[in-house]
Structure 1
């Protein structure tokens, strides 16, 4: 298969896998199946309303996508051979793998997760994701799909998310532009969007049934079940904005914005320190391709972008072939009210609803979280976990002449819940919805 170019059937792939909708409002509905025929009928009925990756003649006002957890596939009565063809990471789920495979500690562990949805006890069978340009439109669609679910599904949780307002419309609660760097799949028709020097990856890194970077093909049983599907990691992350701002002002030595950029590895606009280390560069940030056309080859010591900065840990850009085996497609939106600049702590819960796509949860999401985000050792650093989304308590080394070492960083981000989901193709949705199938 070396050298072959796969043209992906975008009409069979759920849309959010290949394209970010950029819709400012979203709702995530979680279900438990209570009646197998009704659940299968619901899946069959979802094949048409689910948004695919096909090109749009006119942008839709809303989108819908669906995913299934392993307990949901068990509840549907799939044969043992099919259930066991899924990898161990997906079968076991996030809660069981949090400590060992994700490196979660303390408040991030399942014992401290929110009770609803019941992720810690694996009480979620399916996730319905709805996106819309208008909040009123989203509310209508949520109600319509709740009625569609009928008596065979029990809603066990619902999470709302929305882009922040005004000048922060594309930013998360720490005021940084989010979702900038995304892999492009070969054969997706979107290759033109790949930044210079960062070629598209083979589709098998994200889609089952296609060759990956090592020309291996991951299949499920039967093949129709997995082809054009992927895995979605759902993770709700609470952000302690007041603590983050206090830390910046206490440790920023009169320039909290520079400290924030050093912790993140980008400026609030999204401009990378690797290309703009002295001041923010909104012009560079506005060019999607060139804003991601960089690596750290000429900054190995970390004088421009600290070696432990968040974006450098999450995507080291070391040029090694192995790096392309740990890429993630990231979707999601903030949840909770925005805390205005200079506003006092209002005690509200706010954060990010993250959805991370990959063909191998263990090799991609779990590896990044365990080895790059939570690990205290990284790139010759000894006790420096990720300063933004790591577990806190460690240090942050700001390389320079002289270097600075900030010790005992607070925890800024805490896991509130999560699960591993299978995102079936449209063909697989119809297969799963066939009430005559075993």
Structure 2
């Protein structure tokens, strides 16, 4: 039986990606605490405004009678803390020593583990705001995340976002140095990191947010679903392709403890936690990642490979770039998986089906096409001829590919996705900046990702290091992820073909660097109960 989550005790950006709920604009602020009393006073004032996981009223699909709602906020507000931040707020050492080692270390100290000192050392590539750990008054202690709606006429965030920002800055200023708003972000304003969904201008001149990132892919389609995350009546609809694959090939929600502390995880254990238990329960961890995208370099490289790829694969030249993109990602640019539409022609057929269904109001077909975005496995592609072994999709969510009996022909011997279930992460965040129109990638454009999980080491760090930076688990030797991996001078990406076709595999060689980290850290996202403890200074670890 699914757990009944205490929604009013869980911060809202854990269970929901605000961008999907009509909040396409964001702003992230970082605070430093020089005085514990002043810091606790500021946290208490902000705590009262924190957006919890309680549902908002929905016009599209009303919740069952008796559901407790919260008013839809104009601006969401959520809080998270580094280890040094909790220490600065006088959280007891006996509590802090229960925190995991990787959180205590912080992201910068683990840059080599994460392969972040590439192509340049973080001291030369990260935003200055993340690099002043030696100065106690410049250390990152608190992350304040704000999300809001936008004005369709201008594409600008709601005016309320600036008002809330000024209020937070005012709270910090009133402490006379006790709490400081840290500066040093690259971008239009060094005092914070602005975020925005990519916008499309409509024929009437208004703007609409798009669920895409700067490389051109629809993003965050396959986020995992965990037990208790959505109301019971939505589980059957959402779990397909987003939960865990069982040996009988059905889908079930992933264990709650993989994402929320204080609940059983996939090993049927409740992970060790900081004491008292109420301090950890309903909390989680974030890996904050500012990822710069070399968009011009991405476009340039694909164009440079198009002629040879079209000739080797015997496809029209205008099919080459979108097909290469799909092979790199494992999905076509609109999210349709290669496992569903292996060729350009099949992809276009799927697109035409959707266009017709949307024009005629065929909800059943639309629902089936939406389900196909996530309802697939890799067992039907044992050679990687449809979806390359080393594509980003197969690395980020291996589904059934790492089943020790992946090649077994008897379904009774299949093991589902057991090895994959303990490596899943929730992705939160938004793009930042505007993509370059020319060949200059030196501007500010990329994604700020918050990777949410109960174990930074077992989930986020494992995927980042083992699956993105090495290819052994995928039969790809030392090849890294072709999109977000580190690409040295000899980096390559192999696109396999069906041996029966007589075509040789295509090798994309000399891959340039498409993604570079520009900053980040590890944050603890406390429950509302823990926030009250932190703000009041009354934490009893005994």
TM tier, smaller = over 0.9
- 8 Å Cα contact 2:423-2:463 kept in structure 1: yes
Structure 1 match to 2:359: none
Deviating more after overlay: 252-261 vs 26-35? 252-261
Deviating more after overlay: 139-148 vs 152-161? 139-148
Residues 48-104 of structure 1, C-alpha deviations (whole Å, 9 max, x = no match): 21111111126433211110000001111122211110010100011111213x233
Cα deviation for residue 137 of structure 1 reads: 2.8
- 8 Å Cα contact 1:109-1:415 kept in structure 2: no
TM-score normalized by the length of structure 2: 0.76
Change in CA separation of 1:19 and 1:33 when aligned onto 2, cut-off 3 Å: same
Q: Does 1:161 align with 2:243?
A: no
Q: Distance in 1 between matches of 2:426 and 2:461?
A: 14
Residues 343-392 of structure 1, C-alpha deviations (whole Å, 9 max, x = no match): 44374221111111000000000000001111243411113100001111
2:450 to 339, 347, 355: 355
Q: Secondary structure at the match of 2:342?
A: coil
Cα deviation for residue 17 of structure 1 reads: 0.6
Q: Secondary structure at the match of 2:18?
A: coil
Q: Secondary structure at the match of 2:474?
A: coil
- 8 Å Cα contact 2:342-2:386 kept in structure 1: yes
1:21 to 18, 29, 38: 18
1:111 to 115, 119, 123: 123
Structure 2 match to 1:93: 106
1:434 to 536, 539, 542: 536
Cα deviation for residue 285 of structure 1 reads: 8.9
Q: Secondary structure at the match of 1:85?
A: coil
- 1:16-415 alignment runs, 5 A limit: 16-22=13-19, 23-57=23-57, 59-100=72-113, 102-107=114-119, 109-119=121-131, 121=133, 123-134=139-150, 135=157, 136-149=159-172, 150-151=174-175, 152-157=178-183, 158-166=192-200, 169-190=210-231, 191-192=235-236, 193-195=238-240, 197-218=250-271, 219-253=273-307, 254=317, 255-279=320-344, 280=347, 281-282=350-351, 283=354, 287-318=369-400, 319-340=416-437, 343-345=438-440, 347-393=442-488, 394-400=491-497, 401-415=503-517
Q: Distance in 1 between matches of 2:219 and 2:520?
A: 20
- 8 Å Cα contact 2:127-2:518 kept in structure 1: no
Rg: which structure is higher? 2
- 8 Å Cα contact 1:333-1:354 kept in structure 2: yes
Q: How big is the alpha-carbon RMSD for the aligned residues of Structure 1 and Structure 2?
A: 2.0
2:9 to 6, 12, 15: 12
Residues 178-234 of structure 1, C-alpha deviations (whole Å, 9 max, x = no match): 111111121233424222543211110011111111111122211111010000000
- 8 Å Cα contact 1:120-1:417 kept in structure 2: no
How many matched pairs? 432
- 8 Å Cα contact 1:263-1:310 kept in structure 2: yes
Cα deviation for residue 334 of structure 1 reads: 0.7
Structure 1 match to 2:69: none
- 8 Å Cα contact 2:126-2:517 kept in structure 1: no
Q: Distance in 2 between matches of 1:296 and 1:399?
A: 14
Q: Secondary structure at the match of 1:165?
A: strand
Cα deviation for residue 399 of structure 1 reads: 0.5
- 8 Å Cα contact 2:91-2:537 kept in structure 1: no
Q: Secondary structure at the match of 1:302?
A: coil
- 8 Å Cα contact 1:234-1:356 kept in structure 2: yes
Cα deviation for residue 33 of structure 1 reads: 0.3
Q: Secondary structure at the match of 1:430?
A: helix
Q: Secondary structure at the match of 2:472?
A: coil
Change in CA separation of 1:119 and 1:361 when aligned onto 2, cut-off 3 Å: farther
Q: Secondary structure at the match of 1:433?
A: helix
Cα deviation for residue 247 of structure 1 reads: 0.5
Q: Distance in 2 between matches of 1:214 and 1:346?
A: 44
Change in CA separation of 1:173 and 1:154 when aligned onto 2, cut-off 3 Å: same
Cα deviation for residue 113 of structure 1 reads: 3.4
Residues 292-340 of structure 1, C-alpha deviations (whole Å, 9 max, x = no match): 0111010121111111111111111123312100000001111111335
